[in-house]
Structure 1
């Protein structure tokens, strides 16, 4: 005769022990995942900081790597011994450059250039069209005839700027503009320089300076070799100029 099987049941204490073991195992797993995640986050943060530090060190124009310009070979507005040197990269066909010339430059001239604290220099970055180069060649011709006339011509070019999408900076236009501005130069020589591309070498040099220093847009402004972040924010530019003047040992 078969004996009936006993009904085996788990005691409440055993159930609690199993639950406790499961909870401990789950807690260990969560702790392990948290540690792994924290470690990965720390690694990512340090990697990002390393990349940022490297970028700031390697990129020209950063505080750790200011650009060195040969100021003597550039058109200059202001005193040669001014402690703060502003270098603008510009294209005469660039609408934003025209805005800088009309809006920002007069403020910088009044506040810093006329007071002797800063001088403004110009580097051509002619990339918007073939007549960008023609305009630059004309401006370089004016510069080599008369540095003061260069800045009058600079203003006239931007004040009379044509549409960015059209070819407006032609030889005739550029010579006539110089005549309209009554520049104290030889207009026949200006025309000859444009035709012969007399200063093509200097224009290539300027564009090479832009490329070497990773200048990607116009206008771009450097203040004692350090790139300005927002050149249409007068407060920001002024703060950087004052900081540069202080670093140069002037008030």
Structure 2
């Protein structure tokens, strides 16, 4: 009996050891805003909603640490993808973000910081075209403000926002922020979790 149990245990252990690992999720890096070297060996993607208070925490507390330790040193890059789940103006803020990105990638990250620093209550509708355009102007983003407002109102980049939301659904992403490191979805988004995932990704390079 004991030999049978040992044999079964050995088979189970072998299956665990030799079973193929899940392939990384294919990420559309080239279609997303990037902070840092786009050819960095470690690529981080945040799926976020500009109305999400926890996303605000990520942008204000976690992203600066990532920038200092990994992005500015060329080890990692940070990409942003929209996941609009909190209301109609989540979509409006996403449209504005895409419009800024298409004018100037670097300006996008100033927009990203500015929106989160000026984030309103998630239960109210505050991310209007007027607010977002005025915010870009106050922050002196190096873009065409009239074009920005026109692109928001015409929903010029709605198909891109829809595509990013579809990506989230296809990959069972339902909460913001959700973070991927080299295509691997993380269970958490705190700095220690990210640091561990980045170091693990570096070992695989």
Same fold, TM-score > 0.5, yes or no: yes
Query: 1:210 aligns to what?
Result: 168
Q: Which runs of 5+ in 2 are unaligned?
A: 1-7
**Cα distance between partner residues in 1 of 2:107 and 2:140:** 9
CA displacement at 1:70 relative to structure 2: 1.8
State how 1:36-51 maps to structure 2 within 5 Å: none
Q: What are the Cα deviations for residues 75-114 of structure 1, in whole angstroms up to 9, with x where unaligned?
A: 1111011000000000000000000000000000000000
* Runs of 4+ residues over 4 Å off in structure 1: none
Q: What displacement does 1:239 show?
A: 1.4
Corresponding residue of 1:106 = 64
- Cα separation, 2, equivalents of 1:236 and 1:207: 24
Match of 1:221 in 2: 179
Please name the residue that 2:87 is paired with.
129
Please tell me whether residue 82 in structure 1 is matched to residue 46 in structure 2: no
Q: Does 1:71 align with 2:71?
A: no
Does residue 200 of the first structure (1) align with residue 158 of the second (2)? Answer: yes
Q: CA separation in 2, counterparts of 1:230 and 1:93?
A: 19
Residue 201 of structure 2 is aligned to residue 244 of structure 1: yes
Cα shift at 1:194: 0.7
Q: Which runs of 5+ in 1 are unaligned?
A: 1-41, 58-62
CA distance in 1, matches of 2:194, 2:166: 26
Alpha-carbon distance between aligned partners in 2 of 1:68 and 1:145, rounded to the nearest angstrom: 26
If asked which structure has higher relative contact order (CA below 8 Å, sep 6+), I would say 2
Aligned length: 193
1:97-133 Cα offsets, whole Å, 9 max, x none, are 0000000000000000000000001110011100000
| Alignment partners' CA distance in 1, 2:93 and 2:193 | 31
Q: Distance in 2 between matches of 1:211 and 1:112?
A: 29
- Secondary structure at the counterpart of residue 244 of structure 1: helix
Matching residue within 192, 195, 200 for 1:235: 192
Q: What RMSD over aligned residues (CA atoms) do the two structures have, in Å?
A: 1.9
Q: Which has the larger radius of gyration?
A: 1
* TM-score, with length taken from structure 1: 0.73
Alpha-carbon distance between aligned partners in 2 of 1:152 and 1:225, rounded to the nearest angstrom: 25
